[in-house]
Amino acid sequence: MNQQGILAFPQERATPPAPRGPLTVSLLNRAVRECLEGNLGTVWVQGELSNLRRQPSGHQYFSLKDETAQVSCVLFRSSASGIPPLHDGMKVELFGDISVYEARGQYQIVVRRLQLRGAGELEARLRALQEKLRAEGLFDQSRKKPLPPHPVRVGVVTSPTGAAIRDFLHVLRRRAPHIEVFIAPVRVQGRGAAMEIAGAVGRFADAENHDFPAVDVIVVTRGGGSLEDLWEFNEEVLARAMAASGVPVISAVGHETDVTTSDLVADVRAPTPSAAAEILSTDRAETIDRLRSMVRRIGRDAGVHVAQARSQLELRAASGVFRLPLRRIGDWRQLTDDLHARSSSAVLARLALLQEGAGRAKAVLAARSPSARLAFWSDRLAALNRRGGKAATACLQQSRLKRERHAHALELLGPRQTLARGFTITMDTRGRPLTSARQAAGEEVIVTVFADGEIKSAPVV
């Protein structure tokens, strides 16, 4: 980037070496990122803010667009301090680093500063001047002169027709009418006004050589306005005139929230013209109120110092030593946001699926209630018991009838029935039946069995 803030691309580029083979997507995105960061680095860009998305992590993602194009931007939470609330449609100027989010191959700007459009040039000049004067020690508390405890003559450098002098005189006449006020009329706005104000301060400080009344305190004041309206009180010529004054100087420029270079150089800064009159007219009973005002001023000065320190820290962090680690941290932050969004969607989808399954399971359980199944099986068991009892009874009865039939058949076919019909059985003495006369002839004694008894005899050969 050149001194006018215009991007300058190199006229000639070395031909890159031929790749050995196809690149992976990751290597391609990394090469594109290194190319952008190496050639462009940090840039100032202006445009309209749109598609703002805030993440639970505190990071903010949006697009910066003009009439024909747009670019993605990311503002991490660590860089959002001091930046006003963002909304779609804002006309802004932002300062950041050109980079590529490798996970999606997305070209983007990592924002480090953001302000409303048009304030950048004046603020840059103001910041540079204040850094210069601070380095020279013009803001140091050690060089500032204390106010006299009871001032009697006060010189006021301001416009004689403005509201600031009216408010100042109204408070001073009410609280300390004995104080003499000498007004040096000057312009308080427009080109050349700073030179007039500085000349009046110098003449009050060296009254003997400029035919000016000698005063105890000099007050430089005007009412509030925009940065452009108050710009003459940020000029170097006025700051150096106030610092060189041997008479204590009070700066009461603008409203309480307006802080100009003259406020930082002055021996005492009053938030408003009325407050300057109150400081000059305080008595011993109001010392505590004055101390409180000083504490507020110290807080504001500390805020300025912190802002300056933060600016220096950002400049150092933008150096090559810190750039790569910060880029890597930025990638992981952005990846964390992506994973958070994806995990939230997955959890919601899984929860919906589980709820649907639970509904189906509930319906199945209702259809197959344990109490209903128990009643069914109880009825089934009772029926089986009844059928089993009947079957057992029938089986026993059939067995009894079968036994009776077998017993009757045995009785009909048994030897006793045969003997009862007049037949006999011949056996040997050992009880073995003899079935032929030849067997009987071989025995000495045979036994003849009748139905009502038996006899023994000897066989006749």
Q: Above 50 in pLDDT, residue 220?
A: yes
Is 310 found in the same domain as 423? no
- Give the structural domain span for 432: 415-457
**For residue 44, what pLDDT is reported?**
87
Record the tokens describing residue 31, joined without a space.
């090469």
Is 247 found in the same domain as 110? no
The whole-angstrom separation of Cα 183 and Cα 156 is 5
Is 222 found in the same domain as 162? yes
Is 183 found in the same domain as 275? yes
Mean pLDDT, range 252-275, rounded to an integer: 88
| Of the residues 265, 286, 315, the one at which a domain ends | 315
Report if residue 219 sits inside a domain.
yes
To which residue do tokens 């939470």 refer?
A: 77
Report if residue 145 sits inside a domain.
yes
Report if residue 16 sits inside a domain.
no
Domain count across the chain = 3
**For residue 1, what pLDDT is reported?**
42
Is 188 found in the same domain as 59? no
The whole-angstrom separation of Cα 2 and Cα 18 is 32
Is 428 found in the same domain as 311? no
Record the tokens describing residue 172, joined without a space.
């001073």
**For residue 357, what pLDDT is reported?**
86
Report if residue 349 sits inside a domain.
no
The whole-angstrom separation of Cα 218 and Cα 166 is 17
pLDDT band at 412 (very low <50, low <70, confident <90, very high): confident
Report if residue 369 sits inside a domain.
no
Is 129 found in the same domain as 267? yes
Q: Where are the beta strands (DSSP E) in 103-241?
A: 106-116, 153-158, 180-185, 217-222
DSSP state of 3: T
Report if residue 13 sits inside a domain.
no
Report if residue 385 sits inside a domain.
no
The per-residue pLDDT for range 70-87, each reduced to its tens digit, is 999 999 998 888 787 888
**For residue 14, what pLDDT is reported?**
43
The per-residue pLDDT for range 226-247, each reduced to its tens digit, is 667 788 999 999 999 999 999 9
Strand order in the sheet with 217-222: 180-185, 153-158, 217-222, 249-253, 268-269
| Of the residues 315, 332, 365, the one at which a domain ends | 315
Query: What CATH number corresponds to the domain at position 266?
Result: 3.40.50.10550
Mean pLDDT, range 281-303, rounded to an integer: 75
| Of the residues 118, 144, 161, the one at which a domain ends | 118
**For residue 3, what pLDDT is reported?**
38
Higher-scoring residue by pLDDT: 323, 28: 28
pLDDT band at 104 (very low <50, low <70, confident <90, very high): confident
The whole-angstrom separation of Cα 183 and Cα 219 is 9
Report if residue 203 sits inside a domain.
yes
Mean pLDDT, range 189-217, rounded to an integer: 91
**For residue 7, what pLDDT is reported?**
38
CB burial of residue 88 (10 Å; 0-12, 13-18, 19+): exposed
Is 48 found in the same domain as 103? yes
Record the tokens describing residue 296, joined without a space.
């507020």
Mean pLDDT, range 340-367, rounded to an integer: 85
Q: Above 50 in pLDDT, residue 4?
A: no
Is 152 found in the same domain as 50? no
Mean pLDDT across the chain: 82
Question: Which alpha helices (H) appear in 159-317, and where do they start and end?
Answer: 163-175, 193-205, 207-210, 236-244, 261-265, 273-280, 287-317
Is 305 found in the same domain as 201? yes
**For residue 286, what pLDDT is reported?**
62
Q: Above 90 in pLDDT, residue 196?
A: yes
